[in-house]
């Protein structure tokens, strides 16, 4: 039994897509809806449609991925329409990722969703790393706090935030102190890609993606230990909130690790991009097999029970 109940929602599996992967078009979203994923989340949306950065803007290596997509998306009204038409009673939960270019844009988008009173869950992206010249809110905690204060002046439903990875214990403390001020902030998703990596092709003596002279967000195997550390550290610091695990999940073993570290649910990014929605069946079966071998019948049997030495 892989079911998860949280935010008043029922999920048959803890696995779903990481925002950005398989979720930009209605066609993508419908493929996610038809898959065995436990939920789906949309591509981060902006006020206006965006084409994104020049290609190539995504590249996979043996160990993971690099991307600098530049927020290609159809604009928030497209995802608002999808959320308006979604048959919530007969489908998996729907999450909407929001990544306005400014605080004013974020507030306008969130207000538009608020006015429709839809049962989808908003996830505010504090960690979009691929806008040249823009710092990300997750690394500017006073700005993040101000944004959350403005959101909570009117938004009256549970919501989440997507976080960048943190690498310093004092930053876990400072970030958690901000998030703990907001009761309706019910969960954080850890982690977005590890920002501004550089993949080099030895034969070509070249970078592999065009934007930012080759710099991009790193995902896949490269980021698993960082994502697990962020999950475990935020679980410890955010009592009464949930942590969604994201980073380096490609089999049942990594999904198990995230949940053992305390994750309520687990997102799949790089692996989903490379394998397609069949990854959800495979990873779920591997997770079930691993649980059976260990004598666990449900996720609560081991969630957050990571041992220390």
Options 13, 17, 35, 44; binder of ligand DHB; rule CB under 6 A: 44
Distance CA 160, CA 13 (A): 19
CA angle at 121 for the pair 72 and 20, rounded to the nearest 5°? 25
- Known active-site residue 128: yes
Binding to ligand DHB in span 166-195, by CB under 6 A: 192-193
Q: Which stretch binds ligand DHB (CB under 6 A): 2-10, 127-135, 263-271, 281-289?
A: 127-135
Q: Check binding of 267 to ligand DHB (CB under 6 A).
A: no
Nearer to ligand DHB, 13 or 193 (CB): 193
Radius of gyration for the chain, computed over Cα atoms and rounded to the nearest angstrom? 18
Q: Check binding of 129 to ligand DHB (CB under 6 A).
A: yes
* Side-chain-facing half-sphere of 52: CA atoms under 13 Å: 21
Q: Check binding of 130 to ligand DHB (CB under 6 A).
A: yes
Q: Minimum CB separation from ligand DHB for residue 217, in Å?
A: 5
Please state the length of the chain.
309
User: Annotated catalytic residue: which of 128, 190, 246, 271?
Assistant: 128
Nearer to ligand DHB, 69 or 291 (CB): 69
Q: Check binding of 138 to ligand DHB (CB under 6 A).
A: no
> Cis before residue 56, ω within 30 degrees of 0?
yes
Distance CA 98, CA 42 (A): 9
Q: Check binding of 125 to ligand DHB (CB under 6 A).
A: yes
Q: Check binding of 161 to ligand DHB (CB under 6 A).
A: no
Check if the beta carbon of residue 40 is closer than 8 Å to that of residue 32: yes
Q: Check binding of 230 to ligand DHB (CB under 6 A).
A: no
| DSSP assignments along 238-254, one per residue | -TTSEEEEESS--SHHH
Distance CA 269, CA 193 (A): 9
Distance CA 278, CA 66 (A): 22
Nearer to ligand DHB, 71 or 263 (CB): 71
Nearer to ligand DHB, 14 or 129 (CB): 129
The residues annotated with a catalytic role in the active site are 128
């Amino acid at each position: 039994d892989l079911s998860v109940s949280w935010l008043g929602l029922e999920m048959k599996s803890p696995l779903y897509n990481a925002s950005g992967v398989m979720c930009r078009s209605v066609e993508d979203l419908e493929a996610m809806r038809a898959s065995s994923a436990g939920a789906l989340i949309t591509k981060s949306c902006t006020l206006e449609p965006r084409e994104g950065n020049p290609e190539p803007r995504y590249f996979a290596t043996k160990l993971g991925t690099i991307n600098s997509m530049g927020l290609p998306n159809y604009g928030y009204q497209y995802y608002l329409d999808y959320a308006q038409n979604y048959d919530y009673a007969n489908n998996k939960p729907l999450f909407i990722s929001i990544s306005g270019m400014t605080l004013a844009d974020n507030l306008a988008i969130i207000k538009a969703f608020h006015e429709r009173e839809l049962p989808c869950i908003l996830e505010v992206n504090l960690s979009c790393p691929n806008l040249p010249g823009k710092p990300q809110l997750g690394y500017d905690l006073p700005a993040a706090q101000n944004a959350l204060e403005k959101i909570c002046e009117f938004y009256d439903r549970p919501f989440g935030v997507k976080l960048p990875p943190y690498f310093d214990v004092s930053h876990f403390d400072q970030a958690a102190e901000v998030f703990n001020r907001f009761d309706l902030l019910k969960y954080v998703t850890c982690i977005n890609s590890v920002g501004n990596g550089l993949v080099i092709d030895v034969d070509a003596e070249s970078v592999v993606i065009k934007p930012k002279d080759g710099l991009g967000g790193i995902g896949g195997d490269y980021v698993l230990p960082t994502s697990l550390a962020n999950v475990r550290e935020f679980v410890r610091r955010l009592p009464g909130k949930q942590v969604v695990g994201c980073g380096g999940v490609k089999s049942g073993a990594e999904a198990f690790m995230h949940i053992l570290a305390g994750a309520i649910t687990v997102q799949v990014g790089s692996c989903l991009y490379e394998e397609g929605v069949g990854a959800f069946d495979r990873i779920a079966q591997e997770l079930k097999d691993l649980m059976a071998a260990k004598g666990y019948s449900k996720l609560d049997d081991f969630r957050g029970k990571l041992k220390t030495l």
